[in-house]
Structure 1
Amino acid sequence: MNVCTPGTMVQIDGAYFEQHCYSSTGATFDGDQWVTVEVEVRGDSIIKHLIDGETVLQYEKPVLDEMGPDYQRLYSEVHGARLVQGHIALQAESHPTDFRKVEILVLEDE
């Protein structure tokens, strides 16, 4: 599992990661098998990716990249470059992927 951030940047270990994709520490899974993937999003603070309950990727503070082509259009007078809302997308770039069940849950504040 990776995070790819075209037109945006995220903080990893306290510094903004400026490359297009960042790879997780999670294992790869060959063949036909089901795994449980969770993405926990706490606003524009902590974002975690979990596979079978194990955190494999964590980042925070997503922002628009000032050099991105949509920066001016998406910049908010209220939130600035901070990304505080958006869309959810599921994507597989290199291999076919099947989704058995997709759920969206509202989390309680911590």
Structure 2
Amino acid sequence: MRKANGLKFDFDAAADVLQVSFGTGEPSFSEEINDLLVMEYGIYSGAPTGFQVLHVREIGLDAVAARLKRSLPRVRNREAQILSKLAAGRGALLRRAVRALAEKREDLVAA
């Protein structure tokens, strides 16, 4: 595995897959963007934590770079969707917590 500027690169020659990690350490889930790119998003933050590039040798590095650039708008859109859902979910939890606090405040203070 090679590291550069906090990024970790790992190429699996047998699978022809390049794994790039942003080194966040956050548990992540994967989502296939297209036949070349699999993005990894943080379970807690929803932000990208890395990606996998498939068929690297088959396609060639120049073509991989060009296709990755074309994929960026879709990745950004998906990231925005994930963050929006995460924010909405956290907002709902906050509202529930405020209601629960109002209902249980006397019990909490008495304890």
Q: TM-score, normalised by structure 1?
A: 0.31
| Structure number with larger C-alpha Rg | 2
**Greater relative contact order (Cα < 8 A, sep 6+):** 1
More helix by share: 2
